Structure 1
């Protein structure tokens, strides 16, 4: 196997975090550990205890066995993001959780190709997903990671690409004089022996958003991946903000600065699915042109994709399908006709009931409903708890139904809908 990564010494962010991740990775960065890891078959949680005992009985140390099984489990989990590449990669739990899906990383990398940027610094590279995509598209990549153990994982993951180099250093201290562009994926979690904890303040990220803005202020082409929940008022005015969803789940928002920003695009929603990708863009700022007509629940109810909602483009979708909001503050759209749109899921409206548990229980009983899907927006109701209440005593019922709980002004309603299969 390749030897352990040779990494320059750097200050540790969290000594407890370093110890936790080192114990997960160091034992497999040995000939014995690497061979054992790659000899394991597909990971099975139900068989892990038995396999642990077998491997120890065969003479492998507990540390090597535990590390190999942990990596095997992480590789299995990583297949959703990395596909077949996951079978030869190394991970830390936090690194995998924050890692970009390869299908999305390829789109990031294409921005640098389109902008003609050859030499790219990936600051805060994590386990190396975006660097893999950049290197595949023949960019010369320097992947910088502060955590020594995560940098070791990135080094192993990037070994197939001679045009990628990993540096164990503080991203904010790297000399960027010779680089054409920068990509950043700031650490948004802290790790300890009790697990990982998500950070929400952009200034608590490593490096912070203010560092990203300072780079962009120099004219450097910069792209930065952030959590999709960033408030609109925290998005710098000088960038393009692109929210990305994959198979209906909002994965990220990327802020693009300078040469990486597209002309006439301030915000966008990019939806990636099995059939490809589609995008909705706007050149207006947040809060501008967001007003849409408000009207009754009728015809068809549309539930916008999460990326559309995060990008503040619900009104744009409503106008595009000839629809209206049911409440000016709720992201549900209604339209009299069924219109095919990739940006929202459609439901046929069957009935509108007042939100009252007694009324809804009577409706469930009268319709012999035994399977109930509950969606909600603009209300504090917990769907799981309400479902238990409504379905109590209906074990023999077999009909299926969908309820959409929402608020119209001060009134709470339950809309009975039928999903339109696309």
Structure 2
């Protein structure tokens, strides 16, 4: 038992342990002395800081397993602040578990949807280090969390201990879990090989639990299924709501919602979280593409969630814009308007997409700081930058793309 969360072993086979965090290290850490050392150590953000901490603790006579655990956790806590904020300083992690964990603001929206649907007892199958369960329990839901890896389940139990009997953490398989008392499921099938440190992505056929079982379970009761944003759209259930989520400019997940968790009439959704605010587009189907038009006074780059959800046409209509090219996700128009669903740029001028022509324009404008964006061109922006002449105090954005069947360079300024 770890804290207030009950950790128990479920029947059935489990995935073998493979990774850096050993159970011996975790056992050494989960003592008053180990946790006190971790609390006193403070954040570690570099290899040099980690080496200094190891030397200091070993010189003080601390055991190797405990030193490895404490220093490793201090480093992971520092990295975890981007996802968990101040909560990271009170949590434990594995490297793989942190990489795969849902950001807390995103998980909070999952929990809010559960509550809005009137669901109160959630099974988090494939809970990892407990990120989504943390949000569910924090929203007042009762949670049954399950993970197939023993170390990961133990860490989840620690992270969720503050919720006491409202959360149980089980080491076991999703497929063999007793779901008799839950009224909704949250499923996050493992999309990487087992382990706690060095893992690799696997194809959909090798997800654990298998996608066939996942979607069968999702058809039996209200469910949210977290998948990678690039998941094959043709393999998604036709009668579910599919929601792509971006956070601060990065598309972080695709969620398939079923049953009472799917909104009536919604089959496609793009949720954009930026600067602490949420904006969403919803539709009953993919939006028709906007017509192609020549480059206007403004260029708009749709958010990745909008592109994945295929709702570019909806945004184009809102902005009175058209496609710059039928196969490239840039919009253009003459209106001085923008939207939370795009990044907008005011066009200065266009030129051939070669370094000499671009450099002449950059020098003429005194541009020394340049953001380079590209779509539809096979070019490495970092390498291309080295071929340009940058001189002066002004700044701008250079867009390398295709328009009218030709490669073009567009010099522009960001619109707030």
2:319 aligns with one of 298, 321, 327: 321
1:349 counterpart SS class: strand
Secondary structure of 2:75's partner? helix
- Please say if residues 27 and 64 of structure 1, whose CA atoms lie closer than 8 Å, have aligned partners that are also in contact: yes
Residue number among 156, 160, 163 corresponding to 1:161 in the alignment: 163
Cα 1:333–1:259 shift into 2, 3 Å: same
1:371 aligned onto 2:369: yes
Structure 1 residue 105 corresponds to structure 2 residue 103:
no
Structure 1 residue aligned with 2:92: 90
SS at match of 2:163: coil
Aligned to 2:396: 401
Structure 2 unaligned regions, length at least 5 = none
Number of residue pairs the alignment of both structures matches: 412
Does the aligned pair in 2 maintain the 1:374–1:403 contact within 8 Å? yes
What is the alpha-carbon distance in structure 2 between the residues aligned to residue 24 and residue 325 of structure 1?
55
TM superposition shift of 1:194: 7.3
**Superposition map of 1:212-361 within 5 A:** 212-218=214-220, 220-284=221-285, 286=286, 289-361=287-359
Q: Distance in 2 between matches of 1:6 and 1:217?
A: 28
| Corresponding position of 2:41 | 40
**Distance 1:373-1:75 versus aligned 2 partners, 3 A rule:** same
SS where residue 37 of structure 1 aligns?
A: helix
CA distance in structure 1 between the aligned counterparts of 2:276 and 2:57, rounded to whole angstroms: 43
User: How far did 1:401 drift?
Assistant: 2.4
Give the 3-state SS of the residue equivalent to 1:161 in structure 2: helix
Contact 1:123 1:184 in 2 (8 A): yes
User: 2: distance between equivalents of 1:209 and 1:2?
Assistant: 31
Q: Report the CA distance shift for 1:20/1:70 in structure 2 as closer, same or farther (over 3 A).
A: closer
CA displacement 1:87-135 (0-9 Å, x = unmatched) = 1111011111111111111110112211111211110000111111111
CA shift digits 1:13-52 (9 cap, x unpaired)? 24433x6453653431234322211222232424322221
Q: How many angstroms apart in 1 are the aligned matches of 2:25 and 2:292? A: 54
Q: 2:120 aligns with which of 111, 114, 118?
A: 118
How far residue 189 of structure 1 moved from its aligned partner, in angstroms, is 1.6
Relative to the length of structure 2, the TM-score reads: 0.93
Tell me the residue number matched to 1:196: 199
Q: CA deviation at 1:6?
A: 4.6
Q: TM-score normalised to the size of structure 1?
A: 0.92
Q: Specify the SS of the correspondent of 2:387.
A: helix
| Equivalent runs, 1:144-159 vs 2, <5 Å | 144-159=146-161
Alpha carbons of 1:23 and 1:105: their partners in 2 closer, same or farther (altered >3 Å)?
same
Partners of 2:175 and 2:209 within 8 A in 1 = yes
Task: Tell me the distance in 1 between the aligned counterparts of 2:148 and 2:196.
Answer: 19
Helix, strand or coil at the partner of 1:270: strand
Query: Are residues 241 and 368 of structure 1, via their aligned partners in 2, closer, same or farther at CA, if it must alter by over 3 Å?
Result: same
Please give the alpha-carbon distance, in whole angstroms, between the structure 2 residues aligned to 1:183 and 1:194. Answer: 24
Report the alpha carbon displacement of residue 177 of structure 1 after superposing the two structures with TM. 2.7
Contact kept, 8 Å, 2:94 with 2:197, in 1: the verdict is: no
Counterpart Cα distance in 2 of 1:113 and 1:172: 25
Using the alignment, how far apart are the partners of 2:239 and 2:274 within structure 1? Answer: 29
Q: For 1:11 and 1:275, how far apart are their aligned partners in 2?
A: 42
Give unpaired runs (5+ residues) of structure 1: none
Distance 1:256 1:192 in 2: 28
Contact 2:95 2:196 in 1 (8 A): no
* 1:334-359 alpha-carbon deviations (Å, 9 max, x no partner): 01111131111110011111212332
1:191 Cα deviation from its structure 2 partner: 4.5
